[in-house]
Amino acid sequence: MGVAVNSLSSARWTADIVPLRNVPWQAGQMRRSIDDYPFDPSDIPAGADDAAQLSWAVAISDDYDDAEPRVVLTLEEVGHPGEGLVAHLSAAMARRLRAAINDALREVGHDPGR
């Protein structure tokens, strides 16, 4: 859930709690962080000495010429801020990535979750 500020009253803002999925789309006005994961040294399994130390972040943005919302996936190596790789995924590409991760989890015997 998110907060949508929807009225000005008595010289102060009041906010109603409204699920963001019910807020009308406003093209060109969105850039929001969804989740991020900072790297932890325990993330690298024993024997994977050449594994990159990566943090990741998922966001949404619509600040493109076509104003279409996209999922933004950023992978950044520890110690190299601002030099990460950024994927701007359409809804179809984000669903394909989600399906691939779910399939990989099932393949190794884990419940893919929600």
The yes-or-no verdict on residue 7 having pLDDT over 60 is no
**pLDDT tens per residue across span 83-108:** 999 999 999 999 999 999 999 999 99
What is the mean pLDDT of the segment spanning 30-35? Answer: 85
pTM of the model: 0.69
What is the mean pLDDT of the segment spanning 12-28? Answer: 46
The yes-or-no verdict on residue 29 having pLDDT over 90 is no
Strands (E) across the chain are located at 2-9, 12-18, 31-37, 54-61, 70-77, 85-89
- Which pLDDT value is given to residue 26? 58
The yes-or-no verdict on residue 23 having pLDDT over 80 is no
**pLDDT tens per residue across span 64-85:** 888 889 999 999 999 998 899 9
> φ and ψ at 90, to 5 degrees?
-65, 170
- Which pLDDT value is given to residue 111? 93
- 79-97 as b/e: b if 16+ CB within 10 A: eeeeeeeeeebeeeebeee
- C-alpha 4/C-alpha 12 separation (Å) is 15
- Which pLDDT value is given to residue 11? 40
Position 71: which residue type? V
- C-alpha 33/C-alpha 2 separation (Å) is 12
Contact 69, 92 (CB under 8 A): no
- Which pLDDT value is given to residue 27? 56
